[in-house]
Amino acid sequence: MAILAAMSSLLPSCVKSEAMTVTSPDGRIAVDFKIAPDGGIYYAVSRDGEVLVDSSRLGLRCRETEIGRAAKVRSVRHSTFDETWQPVWGEESSIRNHYNEMRVDLREDDDCGTLYSLVFRVFDDGVGFRYEIPQQDAIDSLTIMDELTEFALAEDGVAWSIPWDHEYYEHLYEPSLISRLDTVCSPLTIKLTDSCYMAIHEAALTDYAAMNLRVADGTRLTSYLTPWSSGEKVFTACPFCSPWRTMIVAVNPGDLILSRLMLNLNEPCALAETDWIQPQRYIGIWWAMHRKTHTWASGPQHGATTENTKRYIDFAAAHGYGGVLVEGWNEGWDGDWSAEGDKFSFTKSYPDFDIEEITRYAAEKGVRLIGHHETGGAATNYENQMDSAFALCHRLGINSVKTGYVNMLLDGKELHSSQYGVRHYRKVIETAARNHVMIDNHEPVMPTGLQRTYPNLMTQEGVRGCEYDAWSPDGGNPPEHTVTIPFTRCLAGPVDYTPGIFNYDNPVPPYTRPQCTIAKQLALALVLYSPLQMSADMIENYENRPELEFLTRCPTNWEKTVVPEARIGEFLTIARKDIDSDDWYIGSITNANAHQVKLNLDFLDPDTEYVAKVFADGNGADYRTNPYPVEISEKPVTAGGTLALNLAQGGGAAVIISKK
Ligand code: NOJ
Ligand code: CA
C-alpha cells in the first residue's frame, strides 16, 4: 500500500493547494480535504500514514446549480467532542462518542454563489462526513440530480455485497474484487489488506435517497442515489444536511461489529419518555403460513383465529415470552394481497379474530399481542389509516407492530430506498412513537441508525431471513450466509432474521429447510442482534425440547458485547453480558466446515467462580445429515480459563455463564 508522502500525491497532478487535515483522537486516521485549482473538492483518508481512500471527489449536481465545481474556502473550523451516552437498549449500556471535527465552509464561485459546508468527523474507528447547506437568499430549495461523492479505494480488496435493486435486500452476499462490483447497496464491507477492514455506509438517512455504490473506474467507487420514478434523486429545501457518509476502519473483522460510529452520527433520542420501549423475545403465528399449513387469508386453514391465538398466548405466558405476533388478523388478505395492498384495513379484524377478547386475555396473562400491518407496498393506503391504526393499538395495549411492504414498488411507482420510501418509513416511526408503539419493519430501506433518535424503531428485516428456510427453491439459506451477514447487513443495525426453527420436516422437493444444526439456531439468537426477536417455529415444535431454554433465557438488551474471534463467511463468536444480571451469553457459529473454538474467558470477572451451561452440537451432528442432536452440559469456569467448543459442519454452540 502506498505511503502517504504528501497530500499532493493523493490528488490529480493538476491539484496544488494546502491540505486541510483532521485526525482521529488517537491520531491514527487522517482525513485530508483539498480544492483543486479548477475548484473541484476532494478528500482522502489514511491510517498511520498509509492511504486507504485516495483522492476522492465530492459534490452535488443539482438542477439549479452544481456544488463542488468552483469552490472557494470561506473558513475552516476545528473542534473536539467527547461524550458518553446511554442508549435506551442495545448491544452495550453506554457508548462513547469521541471525535475531532473539521468544518470547511465554502462558497461556489459561480452565478448562484451557493454557500455550503463539508463537515468531517474522525473517530478512532472511522470517518463520517456530510454536506450542509444553510439558509440563504440566493437559493431556497434544491433538486439533487446526482451526488458526486466518491470512495477511491487504495487497493483492489475483497468486497462483500448484494445488488442495490434486488427485492428488499433479500439476497446472499457475494465476495468479489472491488473493481468487479456491479451497482451494490451499502453497507459495503471490504477487506482492503490483511490488517485493514472497512465498511462504507451512511448514517441518519431521514429525508434523502439511500446511497448505493458503483465502480467509476478501477477501485474508484461513486455514489448512486436511488432515484424517484421521475429520475430526480432528492428534493430538498434549505437549510439542509445530507445523511453522513461513513467508513468504519478496523484492524480485524470483529471490530467492524463493535463499531458504534453509525449510531454516534445520528441525533440523540427525540422521545421524552421511553419507559414503554421494552426489548423482548416473542413467538408468532407465522411459520405455519410460510410452511403453508395455515393461511393468512380467511377460510378453513386461517391461522389468525381467536382460539389459536389464545393457545400461543398460553405458551408465551408459560415460557416467559413477552408477546405473540399474529399475521393475517385483518381484512385484505383474500386475493392477491401483494398486488392489491390498498384493500388492507388496519382496524378491521376478520370475524374469527376477536381482537377485543384476545387483547383482554393477553393482558390477563401478562402477554402482549403484537400487531401486523402488511401493506403490500400500498404506502398511501397505510398513511391514510395510520393514525386510527396506531390509536387502536394504543387502546388495546398492543405496544409493538410488525410492518411489511411486499411489492417491488411503493404505491406502484417508487422504490423502497428512494426519498419517497425514506419519508414514508419515518412517518410510520413517528406516528407509532406518538402512540407508544414499537416498530419491527420488514421490506425496509436499509437501516442507518435512526433507532438512536427514535428508539421505538426496534428492528428491521432487509435481509434474506429465516423465511427462506421455509420455501426458497434453492433449499434454504446456505451455512455461510449467517456467518457473513453479521459483517455486512448487521452493521446497519438490528436485524429481524427470526432464527429458532426446531422442526425441519419437509417432505416436498426440494426439501427446503434451515441449512444449519439446531445448536447453530440457538447461537444465531445471540449473534444476530435484535431487541425484538421472534422464536419463529410453531409452538408444538417447542414442546419437550430442553434446548428451548436457551431461547427463553437469552436476553435482548445488553450491558456489553465482545467479539473473541471472527472471520467473514467462516466463523464468529460473540459474547454479551446481560444488562440485568451478571450472566454472560455466548454464541458461536461456523459455515459448512466444522470449527473448534478455544475461547479465552478473560471477559469474566476475576477471582470469581462461574458455571457454564453449554448447548453444543451433539454426537454426529452435521447440518446436512443429522442437524438435530444438541448436547447440554455444565462445567465450572473462571476468568483465567478457556472453554472448548466443537462446532459441527454448519454448526454452532450457545452458552450461558452464571456466577456460582
Ligand atoms: C414478508 C415478511 O418478511 C414476512 O415476515 C411476512 O410474513 C410476510 N411478508 C407477510 O406479511
Ligand atoms: Ca421479507
Cβ 496 under 6 angstroms from ligand 1: no
pLDDT for 347-371, tens place per residue? 999 999 999 999 999 999 999 999 9
Ligand 1 atom with the smallest distance to the CA of 461 is 3
Q: What pLDDT is stored for residue 2 in this prediction?
A: 41
The mean pLDDT of 626-653, rounded to a whole number, is 98
Q: How far apart are CA 211 and CA 337, in angstroms?
A: 30
Choosing from 344, 403, 406 the residue with most ligand 1 atoms within 8 A of its CB, the one to mutate for a pocket test is 406
| Distance between Cα 200 and ligand 1 center (Å) | 28
Q: What is the 3-state secondary structure (H, E, C) of 379-427?
A: HHHHHHHHHHHHHHHHHHCCCEEEEECCCCCECCCECCCCHHHHHHHHH
- Ligand 1 neighbourhood includes 404 CB (under 6 angstroms): yes
Tens of pLDDT along 373-431? Answer: 999 999 999 999 999 999 999 999 999 999 999 999 999 999 999 999 999 999 999 99
Residue-wise pLDDT for 487-501, tens only, equals: 999 999 999 999 999
User: Could you tell me which residues are beta bridge partners of residue 623?
Assistant: none
| Cβ of residue 341 lying under 6 Å from some atom of ligand 1 | no
Rounded Cα distance, 57 and 429, in Å = 34
pLDDT per position as a tens digit, 25-83: 999 999 999 999 999 999 999 999 999 999 999 999 999 999 999 999 999 999 999 99
Tell me the mean pLDDT in the region 526-537.
98
Is the CB of residue 189 less than 8 Å from the CB of residue 162?
no
**Measured in angstroms, how far is the CA atom of residue 442 from the centroid of ligand 1?**
7
Best mutation site among 442, 466, 477, 535 for ligand 1, i.e. most ligand atoms within 8 A of its Cβ? Answer: 442
Distance CA 403, CA 384 (A): 15
Choose one of 171, 282, 373, 374 to mutate for the ligand 1 pocket test, by most ligand atoms within 8 angstroms of C-beta: 374
Q: Which ligand neighbours the alpha carbon of 171 most closely?
A: 2
Is 121 in contact with 130 (CB distance < 8 Å)?
Answer: no
pLDDT at position 1: 43
Asked if residue 547 has its Cβ within 6 Å of ligand 1, the reply is no
Distance of CA 187 to the CA centre of its chain: 9
**Dihedral, 460, 461, 467, 472 alpha carbons, nearest 10:** 180
Q: Which amino acid is at 304?
A: A
Residue 143's pLDDT band (boundaries 50, 70, 90)? very high
Q: pLDDT tens digits for 79-134?
A: 999 999 999 999 999 999 999 999 999 999 999 999 999 999 999 999 999 999 99
Distance 46 CA to ligand 2 centre (A): 39
Which whole number is the average pLDDT over 614-639?
98
The C-alpha cell at 394 is 394504543
Q: Cα of 339 to ligand 1 centre, how many Å? A: 14
Tens digits of residue pLDDT in 556-607: 999 999 999 999 999 999 999 999 999 999 999 999 999 999 999 999 999 9
- Note the pTM of the prediction, 2 decimals: 0.97
Q: Please identify every residue annotated as catalytic.
A: 467
- Mutation to probe ligand 1, out of 467, 471, 496, 535 (largest number of atoms < 8 A from CB): 467
Q: Is 15 in the pocket of ligand 1 (CB under 6 A)?
A: no
Looking at residue 14, what is its pLDDT?
Answer: 37
Tell how far the Cα of 494 is from the centroid of ligand 2, in angstroms.
Answer: 15
Cβ pair 394, 437 in contact under 8 A: yes
Residue 283, all three cell numbers? 413467538
- Name the closest-CA residue to atom 10, ligand 1: 374
The cell 483532521 sits on which residue? 22
- Residue nearest atom 11 in ligand 1 by C-alpha distance: 374
Task: Identify whether the C-beta of residue 551 lies closer than 8 Å to the C-beta of residue 526.
Answer: no
Residue 18: pLDDT over 70? no
- Is 374 a pocket residue for ligand 1 (Cβ < 6 Å)? yes
Residue 165 binned pLDDT confidence (cut-offs 50, 70, 90): very high
CB atoms within 10 A of CB 194: 8
Distance of CA 397 to the CA centre of its chain: 27
Q: Taking 70 as the threshold, does the pLDDT of residue 11 lie above it?
A: no
Q: Which candidate, 211, 223, 200, 202, places its Cα nearest to that of 150?
A: 223
Distance from Cα 140 to the centre of ligand 2, integer Å: 39
Distance 655 CA to ligand 2 centre (A): 29
Compare 448 and 8 and report the one with higher pLDDT.
448
pLDDT at 19: 63
Say whether pLDDT at 511 is over 80: yes
Ligand 1: which atom is nearest the Cα of residue 290? 7
Look-up of cell digits 416473542: 282
Query: In angstroms, what is the span from residue 443 Cα to ligand 2's centroid?
Result: 6
Q: How confident is the model at residue 276 (pLDDT cuts 50, 70, 90)?
A: very high
Three-class secondary structure of residue 438 per DSSP? strand
Domains of the chain: 2-264 (2.70.98.10), 287-415+431-438 (3.20.20.70), 498-506+515-660 (3.20.20.70)
pLDDT for res 7 = 38
Q: How far is the CA of 80 from the centre of ligand 2 (A)?
A: 42
Cβ–ligand 1 distance for 406 under 6 Å, the answer yes
Question: What is the whole-number distance in angstroms between the Cα of residue 442 and the centre of ligand 2?
Answer: 6
Q: What is the mean pLDDT of the chain?
A: 96
Which whole number is the average pLDDT over 194-219? 98
pLDDT of the residue at 293: 97
Beta bridge partners of 655: 586, 614
Examine residue 187 and say whether the peptide bond preceding it is cis (omega within 30 degrees of 0): yes
The answer to whether residue 6 scores a pLDDT higher than 60 is: no
Exposed, middle or buried: residue 298 (CB in 10 Å: 0-12, 13-18, 19+)?
A: middle
Please name which ligand lies nearest the alpha carbon of 284: 1
